[in-house]
Structure 1
Amino acid sequence: MIDAQRTVLVAATDPDAVAEYRSWLTGAYRVETTTDGTDALARLEAVDVALIGRGLRTADGTVVARAVERRGAGHAMAVLRGDDEPDRDRTVAVKLTEPVSNATLCETVDRLLCRVRYDELIDECAALAAGDAPENAETDTDRDTLEGDRLEELLGTVDALLDGFDGEDFRAAFGTCTYGESTRVEGVRERS
Structure 2
Amino acid sequence: MSEQPPLVLVVEDEPDLADLYAAWLGDEYRVRTAYGGQEALDEIDEADDEVDAILLDRRMPGLSGDEVLTAVRERGIDCRVAMVTAVEPDFDILNMGFDDYLVKPVTSDTLHETVEGLLRRGEYDTEMQELFSLTSKKAMLETEKSATELTDNEEYQRLTDRIEELRSRADESLEAVTETDDDFEKLFQEFDTDDAGAED
Q: Same fold (TM over 0.5)?
A: yes
Residue 71 of structure 1: how far off its partner (Å): 5.3
Asked if structure 1 preserves the Cα contact closer than 8 Å seen for 2:99 and 2:118, the reply is no
Match of 2:187 in 1: 165
Match of 1:51 in 2: 55
- Tell me how far apart the structure 1 counterparts of residues 14 and 115 of structure 2 sit (CA, whole Å): 19
Residue 37 of structure 1: how far off its partner (Å): 0.6
Q: Which of 88, 99, 119 does residue 105 from structure 2 map onto?
A: 99
Post-superposition Cα deviations, 1:125-181, rounded to whole Å, max 9, x if no partner, equal xxxxxxxxxxxxxxxxxxxxxxxxxxxxxx99x933222113767xxxxxxxxx949
Q: Which amino acid aligns with 2:188?
A: D
Match of 1:20 in 2: 20
Aligned length in residues? 137
Match of 1:30 in 2: 30
Asked if structure 1 preserves the Cα contact closer than 8 Å seen for 2:80 and 2:99, the reply is no
Change (3 A) 1:36 1:73: closer
Greater C-alpha Rg: 1
- Tell me how far apart the structure 2 counterparts of residues 162 and 29 of structure 1 sit (CA, whole Å): 24
Q: Residues 107-146 of structure 1 correspond to what in structure 2 (within 5 A)?
A: 107-119=113-125
Q: Which amino acid aligns with 1:27?
A: D
- Tell me how far apart the structure 2 counterparts of residues 28 and 43 of structure 1 sit (CA, whole Å): 20
RMSD of aligned Cα (Å): 3.4
Post-superposition Cα deviations, 1:4-32, rounded to whole Å, max 9, x if no partner, equal 62000110121111111001100100001
Asked if structure 2 preserves the Cα contact closer than 8 Å seen for 1:74 and 1:119, the reply is no
Q: Residues 71-90 of structure 1 correspond to what in structure 2 (within 5 A)?
A: 74-82=78-86, 85=88, 87=90, 88-90=92-94
Counting helix residues as a fraction of each chain, which structure ranks higher?
2
Q: Which amino acid aligns with 1:43?
A: E
Match of 1:127 in 2: none
TM-score by length of 1: 0.59
Residue 85 of structure 1: how far off its partner (Å): 4.2
Q: Residues 141-156 of structure 1 correspond to what in structure 2 (within 5 A)?
A: none
- Aligned residues with identical type, % of pairs: 33
Asked if structure 1 preserves the Cα contact closer than 8 Å seen for 2:34 and 2:43, the reply is no
Q: Secondary structure at the match of 1:54?
A: coil
Identify unmatched segments of 5+ residues in structure 1.
Answer: 123-154, 170-178, 182-192
- Tell me how far apart the structure 2 counterparts of residues 73 and 180 of structure 1 sit (CA, whole Å): 29
Match of 2:10 in 1: 10
- Tell me how far apart the structure 1 counterparts of residues 118 and 21 of structure 2 sit (CA, whole Å): 16
- Tell me how far apart the structure 2 counterparts of residues 59 and 106 of structure 1 sit (CA, whole Å): 26
TM-score by length of 2: 0.57
Q: Secondary structure at the match of 2:84?
A: strand
Larger displacement relative to structure 2 (14-23 or 54-63): 54-63
